[in-house]
Amino acid sequence: MISIIIVSHSKNLADEVIKLCDEMKKFPFPLINGSGIDGEHFGSNPLTIKECIENNYSDDGIIIIADIGSSILNSELAIEMLEEQYNKNKIKIADTPLVEGAIVAVGINDGNTTLEELLEELKDVKNFQK
């Protein structure tokens, strides 16, 4: 089962993305909030993201959907910091917009789709014309 971790500059924003997407889920996979730092400020913490990865790791893989800038850098850091027992190739940052990607992911992640297929579909979300 592929898990998805949401990493935004705002923990509350990520919470709301997850609430919206949970409503649209067709299959009960873990959709987790990896956002936020201690205190009231905006940002993310690679250690928080690393813990989310460790707690939800399976060989099916994990996809991180992050918003912008440091959310992506901290996600990369989190993956780098993982110990050997985790296969880093199974943990991917999706090249997809945060909200739109998360909405599409819950429509696709049905327990059969592979990590590679899901990443490909998420990348296509960038081409949606508004």
* Binders in 97-126 for a copy of itself, by CB under 8 A: 97-100, 103-104, 126
- Convert 50-87 to b/e letters by CB count within 10 Å (16 or more is b): bebbeebbeeebbbbbbbeebbbebbebbbeeeeeebe
- Which of these segments, 26-34, 53-61, 65-73, 77-85, binds a copy of itself (CB under 8 A)? 65-73
Of 10, 27, 54, 90, which lies in the binding site for a copy of itself, with binding defined by CB under 8 A? 10
Q: Is 130 in the site for a copy of itself (CB under 8 A)?
A: yes
Sites of contact with a copy of itself (CB under 8 A)? 8-10, 12-13, 15-17, 19-20, 23, 42, 66-68, 72, 93-100, 103-104, 126-130
